[in-house]
Amino acid sequence: MEYRNTSSWNVMISLHMQHGRVDLARGQFERMSERDIVTWNSMIAACANLEMLKLGKQIHARIASTNFNTYGPVGNALISMYAKSGGVQIAQKIVEQSGISRLDIIAFTSLLDGYVKLGDLKPARQIFDSLKDRDVVAWTAMIVGYLQNGLNTDAVELFRLMVRDGPKPNNFTLAAMLSVSSSLTSLNHGKEIHAIAIRTGQASLVSVNNALITMYARVGSINCARKVFNRIYWFRDIVSWTSMIMALAQHGLGEEALEHFEKLLAAGIKPDHITYLGVLSACTHVGLVEQGSRYYNMMKDFHKIEPTLSHYALMVDLLGRAGLIQEAYDFIEKMPIEPDVVTWGSLLSSCKVYKNVDLGKVAAERLLLIDPDNSGAYSALANLYSVCGKWDDAAKIRKLMKDGGVKKEQGISWVQIKNKFHVFGAEDGLHPQKDEIYKMMAKIWEDIKKMGFVPDTQSVLHDLEEEVKEQMLTHHSEKLAIAFALISTPENTTLRIMKNLRVCNDCHSAIKFISKLSGREIIVRDATRFHHFKDGFCSCRDYW
């Protein structure tokens, strides 16, 4: 081709950039005798997608030297490029120079993403509020920005404003809000979003149903998750299957999760690395060591999926929970990649359960080499010494924490009553109904002891008198939350308690008795899984 017009050059540049051939694209760009708006936009957009800030700045300088109009499309492209490539302050300056009214939705969402990465949403909200025509993409971008920065309340408020005054939410908006419901562990809020999905005609979309499965599982309603999964029988994709497998695993229904996995394979669907996380988690929660090992090998050898750190950590957890502490340690030593905090933490937790001090010390030391300020490692090692009666060693570890300024994560539990969350800590005396709560807990304690409950004072990891230990046990955060829920809800209401740490042995045993005493189903989510207590039994079968 002896002669190429500008359009031909632009096509060649775009093709090269789409395939990552930056040098070839730039060569074509330099050979052009004339450049138009498409040329500049193509180069800038490519720099944005590839996050090539240095080249983008060079292109920007060339534009400025030619006095090309940087308002409108080119300005928006520059804003997107800078925001995506880590130059959000420069992007903001261009906005100020060209005026917010000229900002298009792509540039806005790019700018928002830039501020989200910086954790600075105030200027993003100011830009959002200044937009005259806010479409569903803009609303969703702002909501997701709040969500990614943990500002769930702001996300909820903005979503409700969108439902009232804005465009109809799309599947991305609803998926984001269902994620908020999961974070808030609010079944009521999740059902509200589900109702909106039905009302707006989005409930038939597979992506929305997949998000519903995850949401219902995370707020403790596995039966609702099952119903959603069964409703999309003919439309399930790999995400649907994976979401359900992970949901069942989280609720300790390992055998059912593996049945779903076998059905997935029988349907000719290829699992991915996330599916296998659910499968290994299912095996871990019910102690299926042989099956877990078999699936791990299937993942590597048959499906050719390279294990990630998460897969390795689950295998360590699988072996450790089953009491195979040495095997778990040997597995870590043979890993082809460096173990992370989660991997060593899994081994350390198992060492505490099975009172293996030697390997527990190794796990804690290796973990602290990676993360010197990890309070969980100090606490777990101190607790390991305590359960083994090594009070002096436990005291030394706690002194190390204090001297190093390492703060222990406090255990808290919370429950939602009439759309309000009530949070409790151990020995909590801050709740306005504390007198009623403590009175109820004292009565419960007396009644379940008559039923045969024996307090597990070994769960108090301090060298104290037995009577003092028992008194401390009655005021653990999840027990206080349950006592409050019992006096705040009608009979037969299912109680849903959330806890940030692992439930202790004493609380686990006590809640089984409380479920029988009260005739209530009590669902407790701890740091790793759900426990469904009913009629004196727990769904975990005392394996957690």
How confident is the model at residue 16, as a pLDDT? 66
Rounded CA-CA distance 164/203 in Å is: 19
How confident is the model at residue 284, as a pLDDT? 97
Q: What is the pLDDT of residues 442-474, one digit of tens each?
A: 999 999 999 999 999 887 777 677 888 888 899
Rounded CA-CA distance 539/529 in Å is: 11
How confident is the model at residue 57, as a pLDDT? 81
How confident is the model at residue 90, as a pLDDT? 85
Residue whose structure tokens are 């800590």: 425
**Angle made by CA atoms 244, 536, 292, in degrees to the nearest 5:** 35
Rounded CA-CA distance 96/103 in Å is: 10
How confident is the model at residue 133, as a pLDDT? 78
Beta-carbon count within 10 A of 109 CB: 21
Q: In what order do the strands lie in the sheet with 537-538?
A: 420-425, 412-417, 495-499, 522-525, 530-534, 537-538
Written as six digits, the tokens of 402 are 């204090």
Beta-carbon count within 10 A of 242 CB: 26
Residue 94 backbone dihedrals phi, psi, to 5 degrees: -65, -40
How confident is the model at residue 100, as a pLDDT? 57
Domain formed by 1-132, architecture:
Alpha Horseshoe (1.25)
Rounded CA-CA distance 179/240 in Å is: 16
Beta-carbon count within 10 A of 88 CB: 24
In the chain, which stretches have pLDDT less than 50? 1-3
Residues 6+ apart with CB under 8 A from 395: none
DSSP strand pairing (495-499 vs 522-525): parallel
Q: How far is CA 79 from the centre of its chain?
A: 31
How confident is the model at residue 449, as a pLDDT? 96
Q: What is the pLDDT of residues 484-534, one digit of tens each?
A: 999 999 999 999 999 999 999 999 999 999 999 999 999 999 998 999 999
Residue boundaries of the structural domains of the chain = 1-132, 413-538
Q: Which residues of 455-481 are buried (b: 16+ CB within 10 A; e: fewer)?
A: bbbebbbeeeeeeebbebbbbbbbbbb
The overall average pLDDT reported for the chain is 89
Rounded CA-CA distance 348/12 in Å is: 57
Rounded CA-CA distance 321/389 in Å is: 22
